[in-house]
Amino acid sequence: MNRSFENIETAVKGKIGLIELNRPKVLNALNRQMVTEILEAMEQYDRDPDIKIIVLAGKGRAFAAGADIDEMMDADAISLETLNQFTDWDRLAWIKKPIIGAVHGFALGGAFELALCCDMLFASEKAEFGFPEVNLGIMPGAGGTQRLTKLVGKTKAMEWVLSGKRISATEALHFGIINSTFAEEVLMEETMKFAGNIANQPPLAVRMIKESIHKAVDYSLYEGMQYERKNFYLLFASEDQKEGMRAFKEKRKPDFKGK
């Protein structure tokens, strides 16, 4: 990292770029600067050819308890419009490398929205998710009503966002919000193991797969199919495709170069 951060900690572990929210005293409450730092770190990892995957986690007792209320207390509509803080969130969606989130403790409000920006989520068995915004007279503003609804459908999204009630890890797993649960003590270790496995997959294929799956969420099936097809063709321009198929025929392990 060519910049030091105040609200997050970054570390490179092999081919994994790790980002940890680091305001444990306030349960990693998200402020604007923290979001900007997360985005900057992710964009740097995205440009770094040695990094193949990004892991996002929280230091201390929780992933993050929510957004920093102090920062929003005296905000008015016009200042929020001019500030346009949510563009940072839009850019998080443009990260090309897979992002895996590891959630322990809580991911509430803005932190739940941040978790929903990840491509895959692992959580501790005791983790809890939720959108408590309604209790403060507001609503999610960084994609909560949109991403959660696309993920679980209208029925449960409506219930959870209107009531503000907590979603247990078991429930989150049941509704496909998270991929797996682990004992909290081994959550990071298992997440890093999984990330390490994906990091060894052919990088170009990983990139095209992530992009295509994301398009499936927004595009009509027809457009999505066309998009997928182009990406499929594109991979045949790569050396990794030649290597992958040759190795399969020769019954040996492929050596992918990301080219």
| CA pair distance 106, 64, nearest whole angstrom | 6
- Of the residues 63, 106, 122, 182, which one makes contact with other proteins according to CB under 8 A: 182
Query: DSSP letter string over 71-95?
Result: HHTT--HHHHHHH-TTHHHHHHTT-
| CA pair distance 170, 123, nearest whole angstrom | 10
Run of H or E including 100: strand 99-103
Catalytic: 64? no
Q: Which stretch binds other proteins (CB under 8 A): 78-86, 90-98, 185-193, 245-253?
A: 185-193
User: Which residues, 88 to 107, sit near other proteins by CB under 8 A?
Assistant: none
Structure tokens at 8: 């997050």
Does the protein bind other proteins through residue 61 (CB under 8 A)?
no
Does the protein bind other proteins through residue 129 (CB under 8 A)?
no
Of the two residues 81 and 185, which places its CB atom closer to other proteins in the complex?
Answer: 185
Catalytic: 113? yes
Cα angle for residues 84, 112, 156 (degrees, 5° grid): 110
User: Active site residue: 101, 110, 130, 144, which one?
Assistant: 110
- Of the residues 136, 186, 225, 245, which one makes contact with other proteins according to CB under 8 A: 186
Least distance between other proteins and beta carbon 28 (Å): 21
Catalytic: 190? no
Least distance between other proteins and beta carbon 185 (Å): 4
| CA pair distance 145, 164, nearest whole angstrom | 12
Of the two residues 61 and 230, which places its CB atom closer to other proteins in the complex?
Answer: 61
101 CB-near residues (< 8 Å, 6+ apart): 55, 56, 57, 63, 114, 115, 118, 120, 121, 122
Does the protein bind other proteins through residue 185 (CB under 8 A)?
yes
Does the protein bind other proteins through residue 183 (CB under 8 A)?
yes
Of the two residues 124 and 238, which places its CB atom closer to other proteins in the complex?
Answer: 124
Catalytic: 110? yes
Of the two residues 185 and 218, which places its CB atom closer to other proteins in the complex?
Answer: 185
Structure tokens at 177: 């919000």
16-21 and 8-13 strand pairing: antiparallel
- Work out the number of other CB atoms within 10 angstroms of the CB of residue 166: 14
Does the protein bind other proteins through residue 197 (CB under 8 A)?
no
Binding site for other proteins (CB under 8 A): 182-183, 185-186, 189-190
Active site residues: 67, 110, 113, 133
